[in-house]
Structure 1
Amino acid sequence: MSASRVSQRERVLSLLASRGMMRLREFGETGITAATVSRLERDGAITRLARGLYRLADEELDQQYSLAEVAKLIPKGVICLTSALAFHGLTDQLPAHVWVALSKQDWRPRITYPPVRIVRFPPELLATNVEYHVIGQTPVPIYGVTKTIVDLFRYRRMLGTAVVIKAMRETLRQRKATPAEIAQLAEQAGAWKAMAPYLTMLASYD
């Protein structure tokens, strides 16, 4: 094996060890060829997670690793709705899909795995209350608890009112958001008038 191949192989392994996962395009930006990446995959040193997305083969996977995969595959998206709810420990049910918020202008990605559901947010709501959490060494944008509760209510017809009420109750029980914080964000999102009776009822039992 030539010195250049050894060098590129070591660089791939080093980059994945520090970053957790990388796109083929990102390898190319560092001067690493697609042939080197393919060779490492054939050798079993790295694993392809999705089209053009790789990680080390022996890396231990976090339970939320699929969120990191989606963050790499949809860099403009934000983890939302029940996927964000599960991440914050407010439900013990893992969603069948990773819910991702995108702006109305962004293109819809073609991803077969992990399975995703796309929802379209207006720009002012897309950028609100975004937190970054490191999963598998990848920074993942995820909506905070308060924004997640408000968004669940906004999409209650799709997700079911029972899911929303249970999430609101658990949020208040765990004190991860106050009624005032939820009300303020609901007002900004134009959802407070419809949400008020539910939150008032649940807050009275807290």
Structure 2
Amino acid sequence: MAANAELSEKQTVVEVCKRIPKGTVCLLSALAMHELTTQAPFEVWLAIDRKDWLPQVKDLPIRIVRFSGDALKSGIEHRVIDGVSIPVYNPAKTVADCFKYRNKIGLDVAIEALKDGWKARKFTMDEIQKYAVICRVQNVMRPYLETLIA
């Protein structure tokens, strides 16, 4: 790759995860990794503990969100990209997070991810309900879940 070439989306995720090893890829970036969105995020969305210091990385496009407790620790899987293990929330946890952060990313994005993930069989109803409870969005998600099984 040429020295002046822009980093690809995957290379950017790898660089961000190398520099912020306590972070977990989440929200729009996780949706893209799971192929659950038509949007290409221009920032790498990363979850860190609400008590952690805010990372100072000026040369990479990063969007930090704060999670805590089970919402931070649950549903993490690892993907290997260019030999680097990347922590990313699984599809069901990612969709629940999208409903939790619907004011930041848009309710339409969360609903699209739920429908697309269900259609592509990326998660079961039990999995999505488990993470809805962990993220405390079961009441918000209930009407949309009901339309999936209707």
Select the residue among 103, 120, 123 that pairs with 2:66. Answer: 120
For residues 180 and 125 of structure 1, the distance between their equivalents in structure 2, rounded to whole angstroms, comes to: 17
1:96 positional shift: 1.2
Contact conserved, 2:70 with 2:134, CA < 8 A, in 1? Answer: no
Alignment partner of 1:152 is 2:98: yes
Taking structure 1 as the reference length, what is the TM-score of the superposition? 0.67
**Contact in 1 for aligned 2:45/2:63 (Cα 8 Å):** yes
The whole-number CA distance in structure 1 between the counterparts of 2:59 and 2:37 is 23
Q: Which runs of 5+ in 2 are unaligned?
A: none
Count residues with an aligned counterpart: 148
* Structure 2 CA distance for aligned equivalents of residues 118 and 63 of structure 1: 17
3-state secondary structure, aligned to 1:119: strand
Aligned to 1:95: 41
Percent identity over paired residues: 40
Q: Does 1:169 align with 2:147?
A: no
Please give the per-residue CA displacement for 1:94-127, whole angstroms capped at 9, x wherever unaligned.
1011000000111111112321011000132111
**Contact persistence 2:75–2:89 (CA under 8 A):** yes
Q: Deviation at 1:199?
A: 1.4
Structure 1 stretches (4+) deviating beyond 2 angstroms?
A: none
Matched AA of 1:183: Q
Q: Which amino acid aligns with 1:71?
A: C
The answer on 1:132 being equivalent to 2:109 is no
Deviation of residue 202 (structure 1)? Answer: 2.9
RMSD: 2.0
Does the CA contact (< 8 Å) of 2:100 and 2:136 recur in 1?
A: no
Q: For structure 1, list consecutive stretches of 5 or more residues without a partner in the other structure.
A: 1-46, 48-60
- Matches of 2:79 and 2:8 in 1, distance apart? 13
SS at match of 1:113: coil
Query: Which has the higher relative contact order, 1 or 2, with Cα contacts under 8 A spaced 6 or more apart?
Result: 2
